Amino acid sequence: MPIHTYTNWNVRPSDAEEQIEPFRKYFFICEGANTETFYFRKLIDLRKSLDIHPQIDICLMEKTEEHSNLSYPKQLLAFAETLKDDETLDFDKGHDKMIVIFDADIFEKKVSGYDELIKEGEKNNIIGITNPGFEVFLLLHIEGAYEKYIKDNNDKFFELDEKKRYRHPYNMLLDATGMNSKKNSKIGDLAENVAVAIEQEKCINQDIYNVKGLVSSNIASIIEGIIADRP
Q: Where are the domains of the chain?
A: 3-7+22-228
Residue 70 in this model has a pLDDT that exceeds 80? no
Residue 210 in this model has a pLDDT that exceeds 70? yes
Residue 43 in this model has a pLDDT that exceeds 70? yes
Which pLDDT belongs to residue 3?
63
Which pLDDT band holds residue 23 (cuts at 50, 70, 90)?
Answer: confident
Can you tell me the distance from the alpha carbon of 35 to that of 40, in angstroms, rounded to the nearest whole number?
A: 9
Residue 14 in this model has a pLDDT that exceeds 60? no
Which pLDDT band holds residue 16 (cuts at 50, 70, 90)?
Answer: very low
Around Cβ 59, how many Cβ atoms within 10 Å? 24
Q: Nearest 5 degrees, angle CA 12-CA 57-CA 199?
A: 110
Q: What φ, ψ does residue 18 adopt, rounded to 5°?
A: -60, 130
Burial of residue 203 (number of CB atoms within 10 Å: 0-12, 13-18, 19+): middle
Which pLDDT belongs to residue 2?
56
Can you tell me the distance from the alpha carbon of 214 to that of 80, in angstroms, rounded to the nearest whole number?
A: 27
- Give pLDDT tens digits for 78-110: 999 999 998 888 899 999 999 999 999 999 988
Q: What mean pLDDT is predicted for residues 145-152?
A: 97
CA nearest 23: which of 72, 65, 64, 56? 56
Identify how many contiguous H helices and E strands the chain contains and give both numbers.
Answer: 9, 6
Which pLDDT belongs to residue 76?
92
